[in-house]
Homo-oligomer: A and B are copies of this chain.
Amino acid sequence: MGKLVTEMLKGTLEGIVLAILSGRSAYGYEITAWLRDQGFSEIAEGTVYALLIRIEQRGLVDVQKVPSEKGPPRKVYSLNAQGREYLEEFWKTWSFLAERLEQLRDGGNGK
């Protein structure tokens, strides 16, 4: 793994996070932990936070500051209407790519 995953995550990590948020609201630390749990063991702390700020500035998520029992206040993100629309687009794009790749994998080659 390593560099290969890193490059592939470009563009998809965003969708992954949005997909997580489509199920429930969550905050950065939580999302990072969840990703690590799912096998993305090398996800960098800072990466998730930077991504969250990005999608917030694009207006795909709503933010709410919630005090934590242990530590600084959490920034809880939830997907809004625009985010849902964007996620829809993401899945379409993903499907397109996944289809082509699956075809390549077991077709050996196109023609």
Contact = CB atoms under 8 A, between A and B. Distances in A.
Contacts of A19: 101, 104-105, 109
Contacts of A94: 8, 101
Contact of A23 (B5, B101, B108): B108
B90 A4 contact: yes
| Copy total for this chain | 2
Task: State the main secondary structure of chain A at its contact with B.
Answer: helix
A57 interface: no
A29 interface: no
Nearest to A14: B7
A38 B19 CA distance: 27
Given A1-B96, A23-B107, 9 more contacts: A1-B93, A4-B93, A7-B11, A8-B93, A16-B100, A20-B109, A22-B109, A23-B109, A91-B105
Interface of A: 1, 4-12, 14-16, 19-20, 22-24, 34, 38-40, 89-91, 93-94, 96-98, 100-101, 104-105, 107-111
Q: What 9 A-B pairs come out closest when comparing CB atoms?
A: A23-B109, A7-B11, A8-B11, A10-B10, A19-B104, A4-B93, A23-B108, A5-B93, A7-B10
